[in-house]
């Protein structure tokens, strides 16, 4: 998708995700490295974790413990927009 987007002259921002600890350190490291490796390979801007500072704050995630609340949305914007703005 990254390559096809770039071939179509579309700016790409890669936003990473992290896994909970129950996946095991080896799998988590491999998963997280995929994002870093892709960002380096394709020379694209990268935000390492979409929910940085949100996922660990009970009031900022829904009852499922995974998805951000409405109140978390401005924080996500604050984290991503400075990188995204350079692509607009």
| pLDDT for res 20 | 87
**For residue 29, what are the domain limits?**
2-85
Here the CATH number for the domain that contains residue 59 is 3.40.50.1110
**What are the angstrom distances between the C-alpha of 81 and each of 11, 25, 47?**
14, 30, 10
How many domains is the chain built from? 1
| pLDDT for res 78 | 95
76 SS3 class: helix
61 SS3 class: strand
Residue bearing tokens 């892709």? 38
**What are the angstrom distances between the C-alpha of 56 and each of 34, 50, 53, 59, 84?**
22, 12, 6, 9, 24
Q: pTM above the 0.95 mark?
A: no
Task: Give me the tens of pLDDT residue by residue for the chain, a chain 88 residues long.
Answer: 999 999 999 999 999 999 988 999 999 999 999 999 999 999 999 999 999 999 999 999 999 988 999 999 999 999 999 999 999 9
């Amino acid at each position: 998708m990254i390559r096809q987007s770039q071939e179509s002259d579309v700016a790409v921002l890669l936003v990473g995700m992290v896994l909970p600890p129950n996946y095991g350190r080896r799998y988590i490291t491999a998963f997280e490295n995929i994002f870093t490796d892709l960002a380096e390979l394709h020379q694209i801007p990268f935000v390492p974790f979409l929910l940085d500072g949100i996922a660990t704050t009970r009031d900022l995630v829904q009852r499922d413990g995974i998805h951000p609340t409405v109140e978390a949305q401005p924080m996500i914007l604050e984290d991503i927009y400075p990188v995204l703005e350079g692509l607009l």
